[in-house]
Structure 1
Amino acid sequence: MRIPKIKISKKYLKIGAWILGVFLIVCLALGAIAYGKREALLKKMVAKAIVKADRDYDLEVKIGSAGFTGMSTVKMTNISVVPKDRDTLSNIGELSISVRLFPLIFGNVKLSEVKLNDGFVNVVLKDSTTNIDFILKRKKKDSTENTGKANLPEIANNLLNQVLYKIPDDMDVKNMVFRFNDHDTAKLSFATVATIDDGDLKSTINVNDGESTWHVDGLVKPGRKQLSFTAYADGKKLELPYINNKLHAKLSFDTLKTELKNAGYSGDDYKISGSWSVKNMLVNQPRIASNDIIVQSAKLDADVLVGPNYVALDSSSTAYLKNAEIHPYIKYTMGKNKIYELKLNAAEQDAQAVLDAFPQGLFESLDGLKVEGKVKYNLNFHLNTAIPDSVRFSSSLTPVNFKILQWGKTNLQKINGPFVYTPYEYGKPMRNITIGPSNPNFTPLNAISKNLINAVLTAEDPSFFTHNGFVEESIRKSIAVNFKEKKFKRGGSTISMQLVKNVYLSRQKTLARKAEEILIVWLIEHNHLISKQRMLEVYFNVIELGQNIYGIGEASRYYFGKQPADLTIGDGLFLASIVPMPKASMYKFMADGSLKPFMFNYFRFMGNIMARRGLTPPDTSGYGFYNVRLREGLRRYLAPDTAVIDTTVFDDDEEGMPPVIMQDKNKTLFDRLFGGTARKDTVIAKPADTTKSKKQLRQERREQRRREREQENGN
């Protein structure tokens, strides 16, 4: 195909040439005028900036000298920034800045070269103030002026461009020190030398005068919106002792790498693509785990979407833990009613690779576990804060030809036969209890009253015999209730989870222990390692039902002087009621051994549920409420009905108590013969002193709890 020739008249060509020539002449004239006036313009701009800093930010800015040293290079010396009534924020000996001329024509300041010699930035926290308060002050002022609806994609684009434009093509920084002073209790200093040469970044950071040496190297291409940084330390892990001292946590790693791959509009959204990876990251924080957690290799390839009213991690993102991978989707929708969404999708992959991917130290009991087969995982969570009761939650870990080849540190089938159970209180072992026929308090499941079994199952886990360890509806309701109450008020644990927590794990409340609990429950239930009947039998023989009272054998004799088979429906409902708070059991009785009136509603509510399910006959009188009587030998330790008692205070004196056979192999022969300071086998409540006022009793209880806390912290 031939392109037709376009003929342009010479007349129009001459007119165009004249216009272009005039335009060039005007530009040159304006450039010449601007060049001649540039020193005056610079001084005017500097003076304006100093006035603005004082007016808007309460900053005293001083500049010793400022002038041009080239076509577009400005050199300044002796620059100081001091917030009003605060410590000096910054002081720079010499600073040279060059900008690109072409972006400047369109109003964008793009740095081409920066040179800095001898400077410092000093952040000081003192009392309730800092020397960077002016930043928050300005943000607050700006927020009151901006009443229009924010355009998040535009904000993200502008913010990223502002950051990229401030990264020069070339840079030479010498002797720049960043200091941080936290109330004179913790100090940090980072003496930095850094260069950027044609996009190649090299930097050396001297931490705390030789404590360690860090390096941040990478590739910087801000014009292409591409950045890559790698951080590491010489001869040791990169860590900050300040985090350990201030936050009671430890965080360190061999290398940390982050990369910005691309950024730009994708439809109405602004899309930022990047990655983050870490090698041998060590985390130690009491709420996470009681020991070091080591993440050997982790990486996140992330696609972040910024929409008109939301920020999301797109499902195209992939998280890697060693050889295992999962696709996360996280979305936060802003507005009057916020919406939280989370989805996790792990395709079918090797089960051993998934198990090996978990951080070292996370699972103590499962360390060394060997498996074969494959697994896949899906999670879906959606919460609209306007209607929290409609929260959606589903989670499924699906095995494919899954098989356990070798146990880890703990044999998960150990409870199929006799074993020794050690309950803990405040991290300390109480006593050893044999769960088996050799223990006279051990009660087989068929020797436990159906009244108790039905009451506890109704209260704690109605679908125990049909679920696989977890009840999603219970977890969903717990999320809704806890969100509405703004605190942890309701749990979603099944009897399977309670049993695993008590028998296999420590009682430390950490995220690691909860994660291990969930995984052990899944392994037991999905592989049928223990029958439901045996799990329930063990549960009733280890469950805490009072201060130092474990198992139904001990509890039935302690409270009622009965065998477990003889418990009535009222006895069963009472024992079911104390499962969540067993140490407060004695508070529910009046001085004559009958139940306090406030318990009647519980009996009627739970009894009606059991009656509807055919577990007990209907009873309009309260399902045995009036027939429950505390054993007579315990009644004298109850406070009078008008007194306020403290159910957390107990005495070790067991004189006059009928014997309850309990095993305690932790006691030495000396302890058994002479008593000593060892914990006694039974513990009873102290009677309240009725001669004291309620206020005096409350003060004594507070003082007692304070002494107990101090003793625990001291131990």
Structure 2
Amino acid sequence: MQLPKINIPKKYLKIGVWVLGVFLLLFISVGVYAYSKREALLKKMMAKAIAKADKDYGLKIKIGSAGFTGLSAVNMKDISVVPKDRDTLSTINDITVAVKLFPLLFGDVKLSEINLDQGKLNIVLRDSTTNIDFILKRKKKDSTTAKSKVNLGDLASDLLNEVFYKIPDDMEIKNFVVRLNDNDTASLKFKTSATIDNGKLVSTIVVNDTTATWHVNGKLNPGKKRLNVMFFADGQKFQLPKYLEQKLHTKLSFDTASTEMKDADYSGDDYKISGSWAIKNLTINQKRISSADIVVPDAKIDADVLIGENFISLDSTSTVFLKNASVHPYLKYTLSPNKIYEMKINAEEQDAQAIFDAFPVGLFESLEGIKVQGKLKYNLNFYLDTSIPDSVKFESTLTPTNFKIVKWGKNDLQKINSDFVYTPYEYGKPMRDITIGPSNPNFTRLEDISSNFKNAILTSEDPSFYRHKGFVEESIRKSIAVNFKEKRFKRGGSTISMQLVKNVFLSRQKTLARKAEEILIVWLIENNRLISKQRMLEVYFNIIEMGQNVYGIGEASRHYFGKSPSELTVGEGIFLANIVPKPKAAMYKFMSDGSLKPYLYPWFNFIGNTMARRGLTPADTSGYGFYNVRLREGLRQYLLPDSVVIDTTKIEAEEEDMMPPGGMQDKSKNLFDRLFGGSKKDTVTKAPTKTTDTVKTKKQLRQERREQRRKEKENGG
């Protein structure tokens, strides 16, 4: 296609040339004038910047000399930065900075070149002060004087632009040292040399002179907001220095880690950042996660991050890859007008063995080496609006298709179907071996246990035990709401199945890994019907802690009442159910004559009425056997006088604080209780509050407990 020819009269062409020439002449004239005055302008701008730094931040900045070395390059020598009443923060011997002229016309300062020779950055910690706390003071001042609402998307765009604008096309840094001094008792040193040549980054970071040599290499394209860099170390793993390990209480190392930013721009009204992060042979040791090293051989995430006016989210288009398994996460945090937390996880149906193989090495000790067949699919939906926590949503579903366990891992999950040896732990140490079987005279079969005790325990601990498959979503949901409102561990969502698995199959370490393994093992047992409900309940009743060195219903019924489990009355059953959450406080619930203290009466009515409504016991207006409960006579000599008033709530709390990781009763009940809290293991409504008082110190109570244990031991109780 041929474009039509446009004829422009010559006089208009002449006018256009004259106008363009005038503008060009004016531009050159202004440029020449600015060039002739640039040294004076530089000094004026430097003086203004130094004064502002002193006024706003309390920084004393000195520059030995400064001047232009080219059209747009400024060279400065002998620079020092000293915060007021603090140690010197930074010194630079020689630095040259050049900016791009064209963006400067539009007010954007983009660097084209940086050359730095010999510089230091010293971070000094002195007790509660540092020489960088001026930054925090400035932020606090800014936050209190902010007048307009900040759009998070616009803020992210501005910050990212500032970062990329400061990445030069060419750079050479020689011997720049970053040193941290922690109260003259510990230090950390990084000596850095780096170059950028036409977007190619090559750097060397020497850690503590000889400890390690790190590299951060890759390609940078600031103009298009793209980068692709890799982190690795010479001849060894990239590992946190000892100082950081001690401060973070975490050991972390990896072979290589890489990050790629593919795009950053507006998507509608939201700001979208697309990229990926990958890591090889990550090893992490953090006591809250796991007591052993956790190794992730190969992990990657392709992520789309959306930042809106009042939220930040990881979009559901993101994918996490662990070996041959994949999952799509969705995370969103809304700041205003109410804080809202959202999380969705979608793992599409995939090979079950690939999922088990994807678990990091060392994460699930009992399941290590397990072989399975079939497919699995997982979905999680969590939503919490902090202004209405009772409306919290929690849905978790693991769906199997032709799933089958072919080979056990380290633990046979069906071992409790026959006789086995159980070892309880107290204060981190094994107490004694207990045979769960007929060879133990205290072992009691389920049919030989009084229904009064069974019904009381199921009512208080796990009312839907025979109906659920290991978990009660509604209980977990309510626990999250209650714990969030209370801002503390108050209610749990653990079932009897979870308590049993925790104590029989898992280590005594209170970690997130152990909790996750507990949840998975419960699912395997319940959904594959590896153990019957009756056997699970029987084992639970025979290992449950019910006092100081008292385990199982056989020992407990004889210890407190001198009778067999089949002879327990309603009141005795309700009492034993009451001590399960805090078994070490059991003896403090009795008066000196062996009767129960009055504050327990409302709880007896609460559990008793609940049982009566469910047809588990006849209605009773006299406290469901409360007045008939009597401690056996041989133990009454160890009870405190009635004149001594004890705050059992504080006793129980102190006892629990003293308990080791993995004591029979674990305060935390599920993964969400780890995050939001949880103290009671039940899934039923909260019992009436106990009314208590105290007149004794904690030291006196500890002495009395030690004396009571000594007497019990002498008595053989």
TM-score by length of 2: 0.90
Counterpart position of 1:192: 192
Partner Cα separation in structure 2 for residue 694 and residue 456 of structure 1:
32
Aligned position for 1:125: 125
Question: Is 1:492 aligned with 2:493?
Answer: yes
Q: How does 1:509-658 map to 2 (within 5 A)?
A: 509-644=510-645
- 2:215 and 2:62 mapped to 1: Cα distance? 32
Contact 1:583 1:648 (C-alpha < 8 Å) held by counterparts: no
Cα separation, partners in 2 of 1:702 and 1:175, compared to 1, 3 Å: farther
Q: Does 1:218 align with 2:218?
A: yes
1:648, distance to aligned residue in structure 2 (A):
12
3-state DSSP of counterpart to 1:86: coil
Equivalent-residue separation in structure 1 for 2:635 and 2:700 (angstroms): 26
| Kept after mapping to 1: 8 A contact 2:203/2:217 | yes
Q: What's the secondary structure of 2:187's corresponding residue?
A: strand
Residues in 2 aligned to 1:275 and 1:103: alpha-carbon distance in whole angstroms? 30
Separation of aligned partners in 2, 1:12 and 1:620: 109
Query: Secondary structure of the equivalent of 1:431?
Result: coil
Gaps (5+ residues) in structure 2?
A: 652-693, 710-717
For 2:55, the equivalent position in structure 1 comes to: 55
What does residue 264 of structure 2 align with? 263
Give the whole-Å Cα distance in 2 for the aligned partners of 1:181 and 1:327: 43
Corresponding position of 2:687: none
d(CA) in 2 for partners of 1:694, 1:463: 40
Does the residue aligned with 2:368 lie in a helix, a strand or coil?
A: coil
Deviations 1:419-439 (A, max 9, x none): 000001122110000001111
User: What secondary structure is seen at the aligned counterpart in 2 of 1:516?
Assistant: helix
CA–CA distance in 1 between the matches of 2:248 and 2:25? Answer: 65
Secondary structure at 1:374's aligned position in 2?
A: strand
Check 1:64–1:445 CA distance in 2 against 1; reply closer, same or farther (3 A cut): same
Conserved in 2, the CA contact under 8 Å of 1:205 and 1:214? yes
How far apart, CA to CA, are the structure 2 residues paired with 1:280 and 1:143? 41
Amino acid corresponding to residue 358 of structure 2 in structure 1? A
Cα-to-partner distance string for 1:439-467 (whole Å, 9 max, x where unaligned): 11111111011111111001111111111
Aligned equivalents of 1:168, 1:252: Cα separation in 2:
30
Matching residue of 1:272: 273
Distance 2:76 2:452 in 1: 87
SS in 1 for 2:175: strand
Provide the C-alpha distance between the structure 1 equivalents of 2:386 and 2:607, rounded to a whole number of angstroms: 31
1-structure distance, mates of 2:316, 2:650? 53
Indicate yes or no: 2:65 matched with 1:65: yes
Q: Which amino acid aligns with 1:99?
A: V
Shift of 1:13: 2.6
Task: Give the AA of the match of 2:485.
Answer: K
2: distance between equivalents of 1:390 and 1:649? Answer: 32
Farther off after superposition, 13-22 or 367-376: 13-22
Alpha carbons 1:639, 1:645 under 8 Å: kept: no
1:138-178: CA deviation from partner (whole Å, max 9, x where unpaired): 21222223211111111111100000000001100001101
Q: 2:712 maps to which residue?
A: none
Structure 2 CA distance for aligned equivalents of residues 471 and 699 of structure 1: 41
Contact 1:469 1:525 in 2 (8 A): yes
**Cα drift, residue 494 of structure 1:** 0.2
Matched, 1:455 2:456: yes
- Contact (CA 8 Å) 2:646, 2:695: kept in 1 or not? no
Matches within 5 A, 1:148-167: 148-167=148-167
The code of the aligned residue for 1:225 comes to K
Give the 3-state SS of the residue equivalent to 1:508 in structure 2: coil
In the other structure, the counterpart of 2:243 is 242
SS of the residue 2:643 aligns to: coil
Between 1:180-189 and 1:338-347, the stretch displaced more is: 180-189
Gaps of 5+ in 1: 651-692, 709-715
Partner residue in 2 for 1:469: 470
User: Residues 21-58 of structure 1, C-alpha deviation per residue, up to 9 Å, x if partnerless?
Assistant: 11111001000101111111111111111111111111
Q: Deviations over 1:232-266 (max 9, x none)?
A: 11111111211222232211111111111110000
The secondary structure found in structure 2 opposite 1:609 is: helix
Q: CA deviation at 1:195?
A: 0.4
Would the aligned equivalents of 2:93 and 2:118 in 1 still touch at CA under 8 Å?
Answer: yes
Higher relative contact order (CA 8 A, sep 6+): 2
Counterpart residue identity of residue 222, structure 1 = P
Cα deviation for residue 10 of structure 1 reads 3.0
C-alpha separation in 1, matches of 2:6 and 2:309: 47
Structure 1 pair 316–61 and aligned structure 2 pair: CA distance change class (3 A):
same
In the TM superposition, residue 336 of structure 1 has moved relative to its aligned partner by 4.4
Deviation at 1:361, TM superposition (A): 0.8
Q: Aligned partners of 1:702 and 1:53: how far apart in 2? A: 61
On the 8 A contact 1:243/1:251 being kept in 2, the answer is no
Matched position secondary structure for 2:620: coil
Alpha-carbon distance, 1:4 to partner: 4.3
Q: Distance between the aligned counterparts of 2:10 and 2:152, measured in 1?
A: 52
Partner of 1:361: 362
Deviations 1:479-523 (A, max 9, x none): 011101111111110000000011111222111110111111011
Paired with 1:552 and 1:340, the residues of 2 have a C-alpha distance of 43
Q: Is the 8 A contact 1:256 1:278 kept in 2?
A: yes
- CA gap of 1:96–1:387, structure 2 versus 1, over 3 A, is same
Counterparts of 1:649 and 1:633 in 2: how far apart (Å)?
Answer: 27
Q: Which moved more, 1:200-209 or 1:283-292?
A: 283-292
Q: Deviations over 1:500-554 (max 9, x none)?
A: 0111112221111101111110110011000001101111011111111111011
Displacement, 1:82? 0.6
Letter of the structure 1 residue corresponding to residue 541 of structure 2 = F
Query: What is the DSSP-based 3-state SS (H/G/I as helix, E as strand, rest coil) of the residue aligned with 2:75?
Result: strand
Distance 2:600 2:328 in 1: 49
Which residue number corresponds to residue 662 of structure 2?
none
SS class of match (1:265): strand
Note if 1:44 corresponds to 2:7. no
CA-to-aligned-CA distance 1:44-75 (integer Å, 9 cap, x gap): 11111111111111111011111111111111
**TM superposition score normalised by structure 1:** 0.91
- The aligned residue for residue 384 of structure 2 is 383
User: Corresponding residue for 1:18?
Assistant: 18
Counterpart of 2:411 in 1: which secondary structure? coil
Q: Distance in 2 between matches of 1:506 and 1:573?
A: 30
**Within 1, Cα distance between the matches of 2:533 and 2:126?**
60
Q: Which amino acid aligns with 1:85?
A: D
CA contact (8 A) 2:257 2:278 kept: yes
SS state at 1:55 partner: helix
Identity across aligned pairs (percent)? 70
* Equivalent residues in 2 for 1:418-457, closer than 5 Å: 418-457=419-458
Distance 1:702 1:293, change over 3 A: farther
Does the Cα contact within 8 Å between 1:301 and 1:318 map onto a contact in 2? yes
* Partner AA of 1:436 in structure 2: G
* SS of match in other structure, 1:340: strand
Q: Which amino acid aligns with 1:172?
A: E
Aligned counterpart, 1:682: none
Amino acid at match of 1:242: Y
Q: Residues 538 and 699 from structure 1, CA distance in 2 versus in 1: closer, same or farther, beyond 3 angstroms? A: closer
CA change 1:283–1:612 in 2 (3 A) is same
Aligned to 1:340: 341
Moved more, 236-245 or 630-639: 236-245
Kindly state the Cα deviation for residue 622 of structure 1 after the two structures are TM-superposed: 1.0
Deviation at 1:704, TM superposition (A): 8.9
The offset of 1:15, in angstroms, is 2.3
Instruction: Give the Cα separation in 2 of the matches to 1:594 and 1:572.
Output: 15
> Amino acid of the residue matched to residue 146 of structure 1?
A
Superposed CA offset, 1:589-642 (max 9, x none)? 111111111111111111111111111111111111111111111111111111
Looking at structure 2, the residues matched to 140 and 646 of structure 1 have their Cα atoms a distance apart, in angstroms, of 43
How far did residue 218 of structure 1 move?
0.8
Letter in 2 for 1:553: G
Distance 1:544 1:697, change over 3 A: closer
